[in-house]
Amino acid sequence: MTPRVQSAIGILAFAAIAWLLSERKGRFPIIQFPLAVGLQLGIAALFLNWPAARASLDGLNGIVYALEQSTRAGTSFLFGYVGNPEQVPFEVTGGSAFIFAFQALPLLVFISALAAVLWHWGVLKIIIRGFAILLSRVLGTGGAVSLAASANVLLGQTEAPLLIRPYLSRITRSELFAVIACGYATVAGTVMVLYGIILSQLSPGMLGQILVASIISVPAALILAQIMVPPEKGEVQTDSDAVKDDFGYDSTMDAFTEGAVQGGKLWVNIVIAILAFIALAALINIIFDSALPDVAGAPLTIERIFAWAFAPFIWLAGLPADQVMTGAELMGVKTAINEVVAYEMLAKLPEGALDQRSTLIMVYAMCGFANIGSLGIVIGGFTALEPTRRKEVLQLAPKALISGTLATLTSGAVVGVLW
C-alpha cells in the first residue's frame, strides 16, 4: 500500500467513524461529502503543488519576522532581558534563555490589536463573507452557519459566534453542533503567527501552512458535523443577510486598544491553562509511577496512554508505521493539554523522528482548538451568548470535540494524499 492510498483510506475511515456516532445514520450527506473533500483537496493542492502559491506561503515569513521583532520591542521595554533572549547579561548554562510566557506569547496581544483594527476597517469582514458564500454554495449550509464557520479561521471559537448572535436562539440543533465543531477544528488568527514562529525552525513557510490547515478544516468540520448530527427531514437552514458587527468599536484607536486588551486576556488564559494542565499531567504520571507497574519496560504515563489511543488514527492520516507512535504522542498532548505545547514538542523532536511528509501531516492534524480545556471555553462562551441553549450546548460540546478532532485528522490525511 502506498502512503497516498493509506491517507485516502484515512479520509474515508474518519467519515465512517463520524457515521457510527451519527444521531441519524440514514441521512448521510452523499452529495456534499465528496464536494467537501474535493474542496479540501483543491485548496490544499493549490498551495502545496503550485509554485507561485507555495512561494506566497514562504513569503509570509517576512511578515512573521516583522511582527516578532515589533513585539520584541515591547517585551524588551517591559521585561528587559526576560522579554528578549538577546539581552541576557549573563551566560545561561543548563537551560535556555528563551522564556515562552514573556518572549513568545506576548505576540498574541499585538496580533489581537491589529486584527481588531482590520475588522473595524472592514477587511476581515470581506474575507469572511466571501468564504461563507463559497461554503454555502458548495456544501449547502445555511448562511448563519457558513458565516460563523468562516469567521472561526480568523476570529476563533469564542469571537466567531458573536457574528451570528441574533441567530443563536433560533438556529437548529444540527446547525448549533456545526458551529461548535468548526470552533474546535480551527485556530484563530491571533495564534497563527505564534505557531508559525514556534515551527519556523522546521520550515520558513509554516505560518502559511497553519493558515491553509485552518481553512481546509472548515469544510471538513461542516461535513463531519452533518454526518454526526444531520438535519431532520424538512429542516430549513437558518440564513443570514450580512456580516454582523457585535464588537462595537467606535474608532480605529478604540479597536486597537480593545483588541490589545482581549489579546492580553488570551495571553493570561493560555499561560494559566498550560501551567495547570502540564502540572495535572505530571501529577497523574507521578501517581501512575508510584501505584502501577511498568508496562512494556517503561513507566506508564498519560502521554503513552494517549499515544496508544491515537496510534490507529495517526496511521490512517498517513504516517508510516515506524513514526506512528511519535505522531500519536504529539496528538495526545495536543488533545490533553493544547496545540501550543504539542507544536513546541514537534519543533524540538530529534532529527529523523519524523520525515518531512509526516511532519507536515502532523502540523495539519494538530491545527485546531480541539482539546479538553476548550470544552469549558465553549460551554461558558455559548451559554453566556444564548442562555436558552445551555442544555443543548452541554449535550453537544463533548461530541463536537470528537468531530473537530476528526476534522483536523482529515486535513492531515488530505496533505498525505497530495504530498
Q: DSSP readout, 50-90?
A: -HHHHHHHHHHHHHHHHHHHHHHHHHHHHHGGGS-GGG-SS
Q: Is residue 95 part of a domain?
A: no
User: Residue holding cell 455559548?
Assistant: 382
**85, 199, 216, 357 from 203: Cα distances, Å:** 22, 7, 20, 12
Predicted local confidence at residue 416, as pLDDT: 96
Q: Is residue 262 part of a domain?
A: yes
Nearest alpha carbon to residue 337 among 278, 284, 282, 279? 278
* Mean pLDDT, the chain, integer: 86
Q: Running DSSP on this structure, what letter comes out for residue 235?
A: P
Nearest alpha carbon to residue 365 among 399, 404, 409? 409
**153, 164, 201, 215 from 239: Cα distances, Å:** 20, 10, 44, 22
Under 8 Å between Cβ of 253 and 221: no
Predicted local confidence at residue 237, as pLDDT: 66
Query: Domain tally for the chain?
Result: 1
Q: Is residue 336 part of a domain?
A: yes
Predicted local confidence at residue 94, as pLDDT: 60
Dist. CA 410–CA 165, nearest whole Å: 29
Predicted local confidence at residue 242, as pLDDT: 54
Predicted local confidence at residue 44, as pLDDT: 93
Predicted local confidence at residue 403, as pLDDT: 96
pLDDT digits 0-9 by tens, 12-66: 999 999 999 999 999 899 999 999 999 999 999 998 888 887 777 766 667 777 8
Percent of the chain as helix, strand, coil, to the nearest 5: 75, 0, 25
Nearest alpha carbon to residue 338 among 148, 105, 63, 57? 105
- Which residue range(s) make up the domain with 289? 3-88+100-418
Q: DSSP readout, 117-149?
A: HHHHHTHHHHHHHHHHHHHHHHH---HHHHHHH
Predicted local confidence at residue 9, as pLDDT: 97
Predicted local confidence at residue 372, as pLDDT: 83
Residues of the chain with pLDDT below 70 are: 58-61, 92-98, 234-247
How much of the chain, in percent, has pLDDT values that exceed 90? 41
Q: Is residue 175 part of a domain?
A: yes
Rounded to the nearest 5°, which phi and psi values hold at 298? -145, 155
Q: Running DSSP on this structure, what letter comes out for residue 321?
A: G
Dist. CA 270–CA 268, nearest whole Å: 6
Nearest alpha carbon to residue 229 among 164, 145, 332, 153? 145
Predicted local confidence at residue 240, as pLDDT: 61
Q: Is residue 94 part of a domain?
A: no
Q: Is residue 365 part of a domain?
A: yes
Q: Is residue 222 part of a domain?
A: yes
